Amino acid sequence: MTETDLITVPGGKLFIQVRGSGPALVLTGSPMGARFFEPLAEAMAGDHTVVTHDPRGIGASTLDDPDQDSTPDLRADDLAAVLDAVGAGTADVFGSSGGAVTGLALVTRHPRRVRTLVAHEPPVLDLLPDAAARHATTDEIIRTFHAHGAGPAFGLFMRTAGYDLADMPDMPPPSEQDIKDNERFFAYELRGTTTYVPDIAALTAGPARIVVGIGAGSGGLLTHRTSAALAERLGVPMTEFPGDHGGFIPLAAAFAERLRQVID
């Protein structure tokens, strides 16, 4: 059975879900909310207490100030509050994309709350030699959003990430909530996530083990480069997972098996 709750954090409320039993495992994204992690959460719930949530301002999570930017540090503090709410002193954390950046901030700000962080394809652009050009492209995406809306901005975002849009399957029309979440992402979340600079000294000094995850099919993506750069700075190998950047959605069973191998 999945339990849901709405917990209070500074500046808003967070929607959380808890299922299963066993060691605590947090699945987190940015901007992806709880519903995107449902297949993986169900696959892991047989032997873990799995916690998913909607990040601040996304989905059912609300903000007192809708114009507040979402930064990795704020989201990291939110995760610490989530752990408090579910009575978990420590947890393993799987963070995808911007959620992986949140995980890095969590280990930095709350190092004793994390046993193992699996940072799956974090877009830490500052670690790249062409960081300035990459940040300029992010600015262009945000300008496109403000001038032309989320649709054109999302297309540019995906092309910049390394996807060939012609090869992507047809997607259902976005829901009203999808549109709201995408608008929030481009207006208040994208820049803060991609300009986050990991504190390598803090990450390597603390007790948490950090695994840098990479999708088996992500070789052509920008996040392959950022993941490789982070792994090199941390002095760890990249750990391969099934699928590509979002492989945990269509390949949940295989992904869960690999995740168990990594965190257990």
Residue 163 has pLDDT above 80, yes or no: yes
96: enclosing H helix or E strand:
strand 91-96
Give the per-residue pLDDT at 140. Answer: 98
Residue 141 has pLDDT above 90, yes or no: yes
Q: Residues 12-36: pLDDT tens digits?
A: 999 999 999 999 999 999 999 999 9
User: pLDDT tens digit string along 167-217?
Assistant: 776 778 889 999 999 999 999 999 999 999 999 999 999 999 999 999 999
Residues in the chain: 264
Rounded to a whole number, what is the largest CA-CA distance in the chain?
48
What does the mean pLDDT of the chain come to?
A: 96
* pTM score: 0.97
Q: What is the pLDDT of residue 1?
A: 65
End-to-end CA distance of the chain: 23
Block residue for tokens 């299963």: 20
Report the alpha-carbon angle 234-210-16, nearest 5. 140
pLDDT tier at 166, thresholds 50, 70, 90 = confident
What φ, ψ does residue 91 adopt, rounded to 5°? Answer: -155, 155
What residue spans of the chain are helical by DSSP H?
38-44, 72-85, 98-109, 131-148, 150-161, 176-184, 190-194, 200-205, 222-234, 252-263
Q: Which residues pair with 18 in a beta bridge?
A: 3, 51
* Rounded mean pLDDT, 151-180: 87
Whether the per-residue pLDDT at 152 is higher than 80: the answer is yes
Q: Looking at this protein, which amino acid is placed at residue 36?
A: F
Pairing state between β 209-215 and 62-63: unpaired
pLDDT at 167: 72
Whether pLDDT at 165 is above 80: no
| Cα-trace Rg, the chain | 17
Picking from 45, 94, 90, 48, the residue whose alpha carbon sits closest to that of residue 211 is 94
Dump pLDDT digits (tens) for 212-259. 999 999 999 999 999 999 999 999 999 999 999 999 999 999 999 999
Helices (H), 15-71: 38-44
pLDDT over threshold 80, residue 131 = yes
CA distances from 170 to 16, 138, 156, 181, 251 (A): 30, 25, 17, 20, 18
So what's the pLDDT on residue 10? 96
Partners of 93 in beta bridges: 26, 117
